[in-house]
Amino acid sequence: MTTMRGATPASPRQGSSPRPSPRFDAFAGTGALLRFMVRRDRVRLPAWTIGLSLLMAYFATALETLAKTPEDLEGLTAFSESPAGALLGGPGFGFDALTIEKFLVGQYGLYLLVGAGLMGILTVTRHTRAEERAGRTELVRAYVAGRHAPLTAALLLTALMAVTVAALITAVLSGRGYDAVGSLLFGAGVGSSALVFAGAAAITNQVTEYPRAAAGMSGVVLGAAFMLRGLGDMAATQGFGPSWLVWLSPIGWSQQTAPYVLDRWWPLVASLLCTAATAATAYALSTRRDLAAGLLPPRPGPPHAARWLRGPLSLAFRLQRAGLIGWSAALVVAGIGYGSFTQPLLDGFEDAPEDLVAVLGGAQDMLAGYLGLMGLMMALIVGVFAVLAVQSLRAEEADGRTEPVLAAAVSRPAWLGAHLAVTGLAVPWLLLVAGAGTGIGAAASTGDPSLIGELVVGHLAHTPAVWLVLALAALLYAAAPPSLPAVWAVLGHAALVAFFATVLDIPGVAVRLSPFEHIGAYPSEGVNVLAGLVLTALATLIATAATACFRRRDLATAV
Amino acid sequence: MTAAIDVQNLVKSFGRTTALDGLDLAVRPGEVHGFLGPNGAGKSTTIRVLLGLLRADSGRARVLGSDPWDDAVRLHRRLAYVPGDVELWPNLTGGEAIDLFARLRNDTEPVRRNELCERFDLDPTKKGRTYSKGNRQKVALIAALASEVELLLLDEPTSGLDPLMEVVFQECVREAREAGRTVLLSSHILAQVEELADRVSIIRQGRIVETGSLTELRHLSRTSVRAVTTRPPDVLATLPGVHGLHSENGQVRFEVDGDQLPSVVRELGELGVHGLTAHPPTLEQLLLRHYGDEPAARREGTAR
């Protein structure tokens, strides 16, 4: 690691106060740490900020190419003004007098806000808890660096990234000739999203000792923010229901600025106040814990291993168990939340103009479309679970916990196969609970219990596609661990195709590349059993190749 | 009699770094074999090749008669391994980890587990994340020592242990040898290996530079002496086995071969010695003297 040159700004000052006050001692070294973090993130910082603005530029270009005439643009709003469109887009300010830029920030802005939130969460976690967990904070703090210096520097770094991304997005939007104030406002909204979730991450990083758990908890907050504003926007689209939910969501605050329409700045005050409050809470919490510890004290566990814990398979299950419980709970809750909107959705169609309902294929088909879309979305989320499971395998190996297992009588194919088997079985299980949750929500909302069965089938049908993603991740990991992140491209592409294939006019070849586009989004489409079998066979083949590859390479070991 | 470990001309590179450069190593059944070398000499790489965790670029390795890469699983039922830096699962207790390792080797419930936990003073109810480095090391040691295996591969197994635990460890290794087990003990501390090993191999820059019994390596084992005498100590220089005598202000420093120590001590008495320190040479001093190594390895080597 680079040495911390100049990490001593707390040297006694001249003048009226010969000693720095203890108040500021806690922040000593912040400046040096910040410079050091910028240096560490010299690739990561531009990658995030430029990456997000390029995404914005891509959306803008695609939309301008697609909607050359106002009529084209009107055609696009049919979906956007539906409850499902509101869920996956936003409140849709000014869609009655639509322009490209209004549609751009109203429908796609959401993904920039989520991306910026992730950026904030990952940046704070990377520079606080991850460093602390690795033991490097201990070293840094033993020099002249105050208790609050690492967190402060991490928050300042996030602020720097937020300002950068805001400026870049403003430049991208106003560069296309959109109104300067609206562009600046949307850029500021994206930056605010990064700040708010950085504040949330500052708190979760105090609670748990583990960087991944801390990032995961913040991710749950981000997911909840997405869902709350989604439910609120759906309610607003229909003109009744709890539309006030958007005001509970930091993503909602950024969206409620209504760039290019109302140009309101005041919702961002809520973002800034929330950031300040969460940061202050994090500072207060951090004084109540020891370095490298979480807020909860460690508890003793069993002196002997449970009888069933006796092989690679049971070990893999034991290691994934806690995560599985968390994922199951989260998917059930999310499912019930989205499912419970089925009846309001149907009511919305009854009130909608006849021709709009006809365009969407009639109310009954619209219901099926919504339920099918839910299944596809949950399948993509379970795909994220599968990739994270393989990523944790990579961490097992890199941290040196795989070595002693393989030094016992466990073969490499057995070790990798056991983990893949557990994750592979977890995939249909998670789809089942997600489908059941959505089904229960939908059934409770409509009073039609048959929806439970339809949704469970619709969700479970995606299992082979997720298996293929899992197998691809396993193959990349087994062949060359550093190549593993490439698998995110498969999921990202699949998500893009799933939600925007028609709107962005993605060519058919590119659509068919996605593993999620072959089985069919039941109940709006039939289940293609043959496609499912082909995907399963392909996944099995690739997973087998992965175990063979893993047999051939050196284990990554600490030197 | 087949050798427990038989390595010939082993080569292993990581990118442009050559970790093993034609290494030969022979460990006889039933012996405690010291595997000595400074940090970065290739000890861990060798042991990981012997475990089939790394694949050698060329050369031949046989462990208990089998190829460690091809027969890893069958072989691992007959051996146990303690890495120099033990990592445990954060949410499994030490006791769970010990049981798990035994079961992964198809051992029945290891009888000596609880006894060893007591001797090493380990609380098996604590979670992996709460253990200090020394305690994580103990977990791996207990798991290895409790098992009824033929071969123990110990890679700097006592790093992080306090001197009391070091003594317990030495007892355990002696018991293992009495039970007929073979031990490969890697270390960068000469004194630890001298205490336990029947034979020693010294590795330097990926090659074995010395191998033999401790008596055979006696020429390597000199004691450094520092004494204050009333009479001039010049006569010491004439004694056999005394090297590098240096005296100044009534204080004398020299090194003496182990087998000549009695006569030198007698002579020191004659000279009216009233201050005396003696210590065995560190590995770095040895390597420096014999091979002109840069003292780069000294930092960690002299830490204990």
| Nearest CB partner across the interface for A400, out of B83, B97, B105 | B83
Could B103 and A311 be called an inter-chain contact, meaning their C-beta atoms sit closer than 8 Å? yes
Where do runs of H (alpha helix) occur along A208-304?
A: 211-238, 250-255, 267-286
Please count the other Cβ atoms lying within 10 Å of the Cβ belonging to residue A224: 17
Contact criterion met (CB < 8 Å) for B85 and A400: yes
Please give the Cα distance from A319 to A213 (Å, whole number). Answer: 14
Q: Which residues, in sequence order, are bridge partners of residue B26? A: B6
Inter-CA distances, B262 with A105, A252, B35, B221, B258, Å: 90, 87, 29, 15, 9
pLDDT of residue A356: 53
Asked if A404 and B140 come within 8 Å (Cβ–Cβ), the reply is: yes
- Chain B residues within 8 A of A558 when measuring between CB atoms: 85
Q: Helix, strand or coil for residue B62?
A: strand
Full DSSP string of B114-166? HHHHHHTT--TTSBGGG--HHHHHHHHHHHHHTS--SEEEEESTTTT--HHHH
Do B104 and A305 make contact, defined as CB atoms within 8 angstroms?
A: no
Contacts 24+ apart (CB under 8 A), B291-298: B291/B204, B291/B209, B293/B38, B293/B204, B296/B38, B297/B38, B297/B39, B297/B40, B297/B41, B297/B188
Evaluate the CA torsion angle B273, B277, B280, B284 in order and state its sign.
negative
Of A405, A414, A557, the CB nearest to B48: A557
Q: Which two tokens stand for residue B76?
A: 């691992």
Contact B125/A300, CB-based, under 8 Å?
yes
Average pLDDT score, chain B: 86
Percent of residues in chain A assigned helix, strand, coil, to nearest 5 = 75, 0, 25
Q: Choose the closest CB to A400 out of B87, B92, B106.
A: B87
A529 touching B (Cβ < 8 Å): no
B299 — phi, psi (to 5°)?
-45, -55
Which residue in chain B is spatially nearest to A321 when comparing CA positions? B91
Q: Where are the domains of chain A?
A: 26-296, 308-559
Q: Which residue has the higher pLDDT, B291 or B265?
A: B265
Q: Which residues of chain A make contact with B76, given a CB cutoff of 8 A? A: 406-410
Among A314, A305, A372, which residue's Cα sits nearest to residue A338?
A372
H or E element, residue B276: strand B273-279
Residues 53-72, chain B, touching A (beta carbon < 8 A): 53-55, 72
- Interface residue B252 vs chain A (CB under 8 A): no
The one-digit pLDDT tens for each residue of chain A (559 residues) are 344 444 444 444 444 444 555 667 888 889 999 999 999 999 999 999 999 999 899 889 888 877 777 777 776 676 677 776 787 788 888 888 888 899 899 888 998 999 999 999 999 999 999 999 888 888 888 888 888 999 999 999 999 999 999 999 999 999 999 999 999 999 999 999 999 999 999 999 999 888 888 998 999 999 999 989 988 998 888 777 788 999 999 999 999 999 999 999 999 999 999 999 999 999 999 988 888 788 877 678 888 888 888 889 999 999 999 889 989 998 998 888 788 777 767 766 665 555 555 545 555 677 888 888 889 999 999 999 999 999 999 989 998 899 999 999 899 999 999 999 999 999 999 999 999 999 998 888 788 889 999 999 999 999 999 999 999 999 999 999 999 999 999 999 998 888 777 667 778 888 889 999 998 888 888 889 999 999 999 999 999 999 999 998 999 876 5
- Cross-chain Cβ contact A312/B81 below 8 Å: no
Nearest to A410 by CA among A316, A475, A308, A473: A316
Look at residue A348 in the predicted model and tell me its pLDDT: 62
For Cα atoms B128, B129, B134, give the angle at the middle one, nearest 5 degrees.
70
Q: Does A411 touch chain B (CB under 8 A)?
A: yes
How high is the pLDDT of residue A188?
A: 97
Residue of A nearest to B153 (CA): A407
A144 alpha carbon, distance to own chain's centre: 36
CA distance B86 to chain A (A): 7
What's the CA angle centered on B91, arms B87 and B97, to 5 degrees?
Answer: 55
Chosen from B82, B101, B104, B114 to mutate, greatest number of chain A CBs within 10 A: B104
Q: Decide: residue B100, CB within 10 A, 0-12 exposed, 13-18 middle, 19+ buried.
A: buried
Q: How far is CA A275 from CA A160, A202, A271, in A?
A: 14, 10, 6
Q: Which residues of B touch A322 (CB under 8 A)?
A: 91
Chain A window 304-323: which residues touch B at a Cβ cutoff of 8 Å?
Answer: 304-306, 309-312, 315, 318-319, 322
CB contact under 8 A, B77 and A322: no
Q: Do A304 and B126 touch (CB under 8 A)?
A: no
Looking at residue B1, its pLDDT comes to 59
Is the CB of B140 less than 8 angstroms away from the CB of A310? no
pLDDT of B194-227, one tens digit each?
889 999 999 989 999 889 887 777 666 678 889 8
Mutation target for B interface from A315, A393, A551, A554: give the one with most B CBs within 10 A: A554
Which single residue is written with the structure tokens 């000739």?
A: A177
Chain A residue numbers with beta carbons less than 8 Å from the beta carbon of B129 are 209, 298
Question: Does A298 contact chain B (CB < 8 Å)?
Answer: yes
Radius of gyration of chain B from its Cα atoms, rounded to whole angstroms? 22
Contacts of B52 in chain A (CB under 8 A): 406
Is the pLDDT score of B295 beyond 60? no
Say yes or no for a CB contact (<8 Å) between B100 and A309. Answer: yes
Position A22 scores a pLDDT of 61
| A1 Cβ neighbours under 8 A, 6+ residues apart | A136
Residue B105's Cβ-count burial label (10 Å; 0-12, 13-18, 19+) is buried
* Cα B106 from Cα B103, distance rounded (Å): 5
Give the residue carrying structure tokens 């066979």. A537
* Runs of H (alpha helix) within A128-210: 129-133, 136-142, 149-175, 180-207
Instruction: Name the packing angle between helices B163-178 and B133-145 (round to 10°).
Output: 10
Integer-rounded Cα Rg, in Å, for chain A is 25
β-sheet bridge partners, residue B186: B35, B155
CA A23 from chain center: how many Å? 37
